[in-house]
Chains A and B, each alone.
Chain A
Amino acid sequence: MMDIRFDSTTVHYPDGTYALDGVSFTVPAGQFCVVLGHSGAGKSTLLRTVNGLSAITGGRVVVGGKPVDRKTLPFLRRRIGMVHQHYGLTARASVATNVMAGAVPAMPFWRALSGFYTPALQDKACALIAAVGLDEAHLARRADRLSGGQQQRVGIARAFMLDPAIILADEPVASLDPRLSREVLDLLRTQARERGATVLCSLHQVDLARDYADRIVALQGGRVVFDGPPAMFDDYDTKRIYAKQDASAPVQAVLA
Chain B
Amino acid sequence: MTAQAPTRWSYPRPYGSGTILALIGAALLLWYTGQRVEIGRMVMMTTQAVAVQFGLAEQSQVADGLGNAIGQLVPIQLSERQEISRIEGFDPTDLPFLSHVEVVERRAETINPQTMRMESRPVRTTYLVQPLGYVWLVAAKMLETLEIALWGTIVAILIGFPLALLGARNMMRFAAIRMMARGIIGFCRAIPELVSALFLVIAYGFGPIAGILALGLYGAGFLGKFYADDAENADPRPQEALTAIGAGKMLMWRYAILPQVLPQYIAYTLYILDRNVRMATVIGLVGAGGIGQELKGRYDMYEYGHVGTILIAIFIVVLLLDRSAGRLRKSLL
Contact = CB atoms under 8 A, between A and B. Distances in A.
A97 B255 contact: yes
A87 B240 CA distance: 11
Contacts of B260: 90-92
Contacts of B262: 92
Contact of A105 (B238, B247, B259): B247
Nearest to B261: A92
A74 B250 CA distance: 15
B254 interface: yes
Interface in A30-82: 51, 53, 73-74, 76-78, 80-82
A53 B243 contact: yes
A134 interface: no
A104 interface: yes
B240 A162 contact: no
A101 B254 CA distance: 9
Given A90-B238, A90-B256, A78 B243 contact: no
A146 B6 CA distance: 47
B41 interface: no
A162 B245 contact: yes
Given A53-B240, A88-B240, A92-B259, A82 B245 contact: yes
B235 A91 contact: yes
A105 B246 contact: yes
A84 interface: yes
- Which of B244, B245, B246, B247 counts the most A-chain CB atoms under 10 A from its CB? B245
A209 B84 CA distance: 97
B255 A105 contact: no
A93 B245 contact: no
Contact of B240 (A73, A76, A78, A84): A84
Contacts of A131: none
Contact of A93 (B246, B248, B255): B255
Interface string B247-283: 1101100111001101100000000000000000000
Across the A-B interface, give the 3 residue pairs with the lowest CB-CB distance, nearest first: A77-B246, A88-B241, A93-B259
Interface of B: 235, 237-238, 240-248, 250-251, 254-256, 259-260, 262-263
